[in-house]
Amino acid sequence: MVIVMATGASDTDIADVVAHIDNHGGQAFVSRGVTRTIIGVVGTEDVLETMDADGLPGVAETMRITAPYKLVSAQNHARRSTVRVGGVPIGPDTFTFIAGPCAVETAEQTLESAWMAKRAGASLLRGGAYKPRTSPYAFQGLGVEGLRILAEVRDVVGLPIVTEVTDPNDVDTVAEYADMLQIGTRNMQNFGLLNAVGATGKPVMLKRGLTATYEEWLMAAEYIAQRGNLDIVLCERGVRSFEPSIRNMLDVSAIAMVQRLSHLPVIVDPSHAAGRRDLVVPLARAGIAAGADGVMVDVHPHPEAALCDGAQALFGDLLAELSQAVTIIPPLLGRTSAAHLAG
Ligand code: PEP
Ligand code: MN
């Protein structure tokens, strides 16, 4: 069961509802979103039947949710949610462009990439300091030094930062620097990590697992939500397929479908889907047309020298083409560009 609190509900109202649930033998999970607080209730059929929360002060609605994911379900959400990252909205009314290097390599490379992103119209900067690499011999990221570089670049360029965390032990450190925490595809079901990022209260970008079903993806989001954090953005980044010439297969259906199953924003990462830069713009266009709430791409000033994913990094004409796509297509679909809405 889910209890939706009224927009003006006070902390006391919320505490009273939680106490009411406890007294009836249920368990309450409070999630605070930008516009409203939702309380998930877990308990036996008996508990849910006898616990009448409808008349309590501050309660707008109580509802039984039939989907296995309760807090992130679209059920009973008249509108999909908007998540704010350092003031930048990601949601159904806007279109958010996120760009940056796959990995933070040096201060100069990160700064140059950030200016490339900003000039192309991005309103958030991406960049990994902890890199989940297939090979243990590949560049693993600069760690805390990379986070410091990102924070410095944010101050200079003025773009809030999205960066990945791969280990529950690093979550607090990464959260000190980041505006949004990214959970990568390989960690989508790392439940300890999901619980840890949920507890920080920072916005989280949850990438879809390489072979995850929509339900598995949303159940992973539910872990974060259940820790009290509803500021979750889902990112479709391609799934494992039988075709060897592309790295992953961008699942355009996922964007449309998951927006029907969940109230959370859904963005698309065509770079990690394609694995090659010549496909990034066409896939980005497809994602935008399918209704994605934003796009995230890799850029690099010198891709031939990149320590990670250089083959898919945009620069020059292709970045200009993407910039044009994110400027032209979203307004045709009734969206405004988030680049102008920060703050
Ligand atoms: C990334 O965005 O840097 C990344 C590693 O992506 P994914 O987890 O989707 O492979
Ligand atoms: Mn990468």
Q: How confident is the model at residue 339 (pLDDT cuts 50, 70, 90)?
A: low
62 Cα–ligand 1 center, Å? 38
185 Cα–ligand 1 center, Å? 6
pLDDT, tens digit, for every residue of 107-120?
Answer: 999 999 999 999 99
Quick one: pLDDT at residue 51? 86
One domain, residues 307 and 269: yes
Helix (H, G, I), strand (E, B) or coil at 183: strand
Indicate whether 71 belongs to any domain.
Answer: no
One domain, residues 307 and 191: yes
pLDDT, tens digit, for every residue of 267-306?
Answer: 999 999 999 999 999 999 999 999 999 999 999 999 999 9
One domain, residues 27 and 92: no
Q: Rounded to 5 degrees, what angle do the CA atoms 196, 212, 162 make?
A: 45
Indicate whether 244 belongs to any domain.
Answer: yes
Interatomic CA distance for residues 155 and 269, integer angstroms: 25
Residue nearest to atom 3 of ligand 1 (CA): 102
Q: Which ligand is nearest to the CA of 210?
A: 1
Which residue among 34, 64, 94 closes a domain? 64
Residue nearest to atom 6 of ligand 1 (CA): 184
| Cα→Cα distances 70→73, 75, 192, 202, Å | 5, 8, 20, 20
Q: Which ligand is nearest to the CA of 248?
A: 1
Rg of the chain (C-alpha set): 20
User: What is the number of domains present in the chain?
Assistant: 2
One domain, residues 108 and 57: no
User: Mean pLDDT over all residues of the chain?
Assistant: 95
The pick from 180, 204, 236, 269 for probing ligand 1's pocket by mutation, whose C-beta has the most ligand atoms within 8 angstroms, reads: 269
Indicate whether 285 belongs to any domain.
Answer: yes
Given a cut of 90, whether residue 343 has pLDDT beyond it is no
One domain, residues 144 and 35: no
Q: How confident is the model at residue 340 (pLDDT cuts 50, 70, 90)?
A: low
In this structure, what CATH number is given to the domain that contains residue 48?
3.30.70.1140
One domain, residues 129 and 162: yes
Q: Give the pLDDT mean for 14-22.
A: 95
Residue nearest to atom 5 of ligand 1 (CA): 184
Q: How confident is the model at residue 338 (pLDDT cuts 50, 70, 90)?
A: low
Indicate whether 77 belongs to any domain.
Answer: no
In this structure, what CATH number is given to the domain that contains residue 128?
3.20.20.70
Given a cut of 90, whether residue 133 has pLDDT beyond it is yes
Which residue among 12, 30, 64 closes a domain? 64
Indicate whether 75 belongs to any domain.
Answer: no
One domain, residues 104 and 41: no
High-pLDDT (> 90) share of the chain, %? 89
pLDDT, tens digit, for every residue of 137-183?
Answer: 999 999 999 999 999 999 999 999 999 999 999 999 999 999 999 99
Q: What residue type is assigned to position 338 of the chain? A: A
Please name which of 294, 284, 273, 322 lies closest in space to residue 80, comparing C-alpha atoms.
Answer: 294
Indicate whether 290 belongs to any domain.
Answer: yes
Is-above-0.85 flag for pTM? yes
Q: Is the shortest distance between the CB of 247 and ligand 1 below 6 Å?
A: no
**Contacts for 269 with CB less than 8 Å, ≥ 6 apart:** 207, 235, 236, 237, 238, 295, 296, 297
One domain, residues 150 and 205: yes
Residue nearest to atom 10 of ligand 1 (CA): 185
One domain, residues 231 and 179: yes
One domain, residues 17 and 140: no
pLDDT, tens digit, for every residue of 34-57?
Answer: 778 999 998 888 888 888 899 999
The pick from 102, 211, 235, 298 for probing ligand 1's pocket by mutation, whose C-beta has the most ligand atoms within 8 angstroms, reads: 102
Q: Which ligand is nearest to the CA of 247?
A: 1
Indicate whether 78 belongs to any domain.
Answer: no
Quick one: pLDDT at residue 63? 87
Q: Is the shortest distance between the CB of 184 and ligand 1 below 6 Å?
A: yes
Q: What residue type is assigned to position 316 of the chain? A: G
One domain, residues 278 and 138: yes
Q: Which ligand is nearest to the CA of 275?
A: 2
Quick one: pLDDT at residue 43? 85
Q: Give the pLDDT mean for 93-100.
A: 98
Q: How confident is the model at residue 342 (pLDDT cuts 50, 70, 90)?
A: very low
313 Cα–ligand 1 center, Å? 13
Indicate whether 74 belongs to any domain.
Answer: no
Quick one: pLDDT at residue 209? 98
One domain, residues 235 and 111: yes
Range of the domain at 232: 83-341
131 Cα–ligand 1 center, Å? 8
